Structure 1
Amino acid sequence: MRLRKSVAALFAAAVAPVLIATAGPAGATEDADTRTSPAVEAETQASDADRIETMIVGGRDATQDYPFIATLVRPDGSLGCSGSLVDENWVVTAAHCVYGGRADGSNLRVGSINGHEGGTVVDFTEIVIHPDYDDSEVTRIDMDIALLRLESPVPDAQPITLQARRPTDDQYGLLLGWGQQCAEPGGCGQADILQELDVLIDNRLGCESGFNSETELCHVAAAGTGPCYGDSGGPVLAERSGFTYLAGLTARMGYPGENGGSPWCGEGVTIATDVSAHYGWIQSHISA
């Protein structure tokens, strides 16, 4: 599997104003509603940032199948957090998505970009939360990762590749999720079709909210766009030597909300759990 060839070309100019805006705790405030779909062969002098499609916040419907993608489906049929198939019997997601009975009664849909149909629906029989995760922390600092053991193997499984080496700074990636598509916390529902969003991964971007550069990744999207509530646990993909691998799991905003409230989406940097930092822990369970 390859990431879209246009990621670097499209995103390089689009992210430039965001890198400046995210030097402080809040991000850029450009109105995302003024953007239009990216042109394949641009014939104007408009910036790439003005050609990014507005719909995660500011993403686009999935442009390809992702056979490893997973979503928690609640008993009422609504979608929970996302995850990634890393073995025919295991899905990895964020710990805060399943901690303390939050996933009780849920099952998983694996391999469909439509959160409500297709793919394989399977129950999970065990939740393995990283032993150093502490949900009592207000910002859920660090080690936000969990594994779900599936009741039965996924037929014709195509797990996402894992690597023990983290992405380099200044590397482009692709974020996937079914989270809400408006910036205000709780202001709208989640997407039905999996959303994609181009991001720049770079731990020098100034993530806050208890960011740990040893075990987490900091990334940023174009101004006015970014992951949102409901995207937790979803994959951040990157490429190395022509192969796509699972670089991170969406964890939390990397900037505070106003007056102690929840941050609005698309206003700055985002924190993801660094999968490479937990490579050994993951392998110890899925290979047991």
Structure 2
Amino acid sequence: MPLQHSGGPPRFLPCGGPDPALLAWHHCCGEPSISPSLSHTERIINGQDTVPGLWPWQVSLQNRYGSHFCGGSLINENWVVTAAHCEFKPLLHVVILGGYDRTSRADPVQVKNVITNPDWNSYTLNNDIALLKLASPAKLGPHVSPVCLPPTDLHLPDNLQCVTTGWGRITYILADSLECAKYWGSQITSSMVCAGGAGASSCQVRSQIPAADEGVWTLTGIVSWGSGNCNVNTPTAYTRVSHFRNWIDSVVQA
């Protein structure tokens, strides 16, 4: 299904959209130039490096000395979504597009503006999401392209297989609500989703968790918080992107 936006045709469509004639001028979302293999699990920490084009929406947030401190996802040629707790500062930080490990030095892109969700709570880590407006549009191609955004009514069934992307990857199973509540109780809110806890951990590496539907990848969550000691048996909390779809659209289309 194509992404629907008010005010005209969607700017980005899954490549399998219903109107191929439009795709001559639309860019596809959620389809990497290299199809990922999910037959094995890799840890983000000490995991196997990814390759160019495998996760073309993966963004590295770096300081001006080239040190990676957070991840993000390209959602169109002008905007990146990331976690609010990353505290991106345009005068101190840059965005790296098309990188494939944390030492990649693709051309840095300046950020014009940072829009943090107005309900972000740094104490509870609720509503942990921010948008970065690029100072110049991203040059889209095989190694740089956007991920699809979920609809507001996206239902995530328990035990859905997802992948946390970063410089390496982990195949995750979404934790069911009872299991998540057992670990975190009321700390988990409706704006969050749990994943992991079965021997794998993103270990506080800032990354994104997309899920595939017929080969098209949708951004399901943004890593937010978890156990302080990287316990691989404890679920990690992610920002539930579908909860913020209306807010994202209102900012991007303003």
TM-score, reference length from structure 2: 0.75
How many residue pairs get aligned? The number is 213
Shift of 1:214: 1.6
Aligned to 1:258: none
Distance 2:100 2:106 in 1: 8
1:87, 1:286 within 8 Å by CA — same for their partners in 2? no
The match for 1:214 among 181, 190, 204 is 190
Aligned to 2:22: none
Shift of 1:142: 1.3
Aligned to 1:74: 63
Aligned to 2:148: 161
Distance 1:151 1:209 in 2: 41
Shift of 1:213: 4.3
1:98, 1:127 within 8 Å by CA — same for their partners in 2? no
Render the CA deviation track for 1:16-61: whole Å, top value 9, x for unaligned: xxxxxxxxxxxxxxxxxxxxxxxxxxxxxxxxxxxx55x5236432
In structure 1, the gaps of 5 or more residues are 11-51, 178-193, 256-261
1:228 aligns with 2:212: no
- Residues 133, 210 of structure 1: CA spacing in aligned structure 2 closer, same or farther, 3 A cutoff? farther
2:211, 2:217 within 8 Å by CA — same for their partners in 1? yes
Q: Secondary structure at the match of 1:126?
A: strand
Aligned to 1:269: 235
- Residues 211, 120 of structure 1: CA spacing in aligned structure 2 closer, same or farther, 3 A cutoff? farther
**Runs of 4 or more consecutive aligned structure 1 residues displaced over 6 Å after TM superposition:** none
Aligned to 1:60: 48
What's the Cα RMSD here? 2.3
1:152 aligns with 2:136: yes
Of structures 1 and 2, the one with the larger relative CO (CA 8 A, separation 6+) is 1
Q: Secondary structure at the match of 2:162?
A: strand
Render the CA deviation track for 1:156-180: whole Å, top value 9, x for unaligned: 2511001111422210010012xxx
Distance 1:228 1:5 in 2: 22
Distance 2:155 2:252 in 1: 20
1:96 aligns with 2:85: yes
1:167, 1:238 within 8 Å by CA — same for their partners in 2? no
In structure 2, the gaps of 5 or more residues are 1-30
2:198, 2:233 within 8 Å by CA — same for their partners in 1? no
1:245 aligns with 2:242: no
2:73, 2:80 within 8 Å by CA — same for their partners in 1? yes
Aligned to 2:159: 170
Shift of 1:118: 5.0
2:194, 2:236 within 8 Å by CA — same for their partners in 1? yes
Distance 1:57 1:265 in 2: 13
**Structure with greater strand percent:** 2
Shift of 1:119: 4.0
Q: Secondary structure at the match of 2:146?
A: coil
1:109, 1:120 within 8 Å by CA — same for their partners in 2? yes
Shift of 1:66: 1.6
Aligned to 1:22: none
Q: Secondary structure at the match of 1:153?
A: coil
- Residues 214, 203 of structure 1: CA spacing in aligned structure 2 closer, same or farther, 3 A cutoff? farther
Distance 1:58 1:267 in 2: 18
The match for 1:114 among 67, 80, 101 is 101
Range 275-284 or range 209-218, more displaced: 209-218
Aligned to 1:183: none
1:173, 1:239 within 8 Å by CA — same for their partners in 2? yes
Render the CA deviation track for 1:122-163: whole Å, top value 9, x for unaligned: 01011100000121x1xx331000000000000125110011
Distance 1:169 1:242 in 2: 20
Letter in 2 for 1:159: P
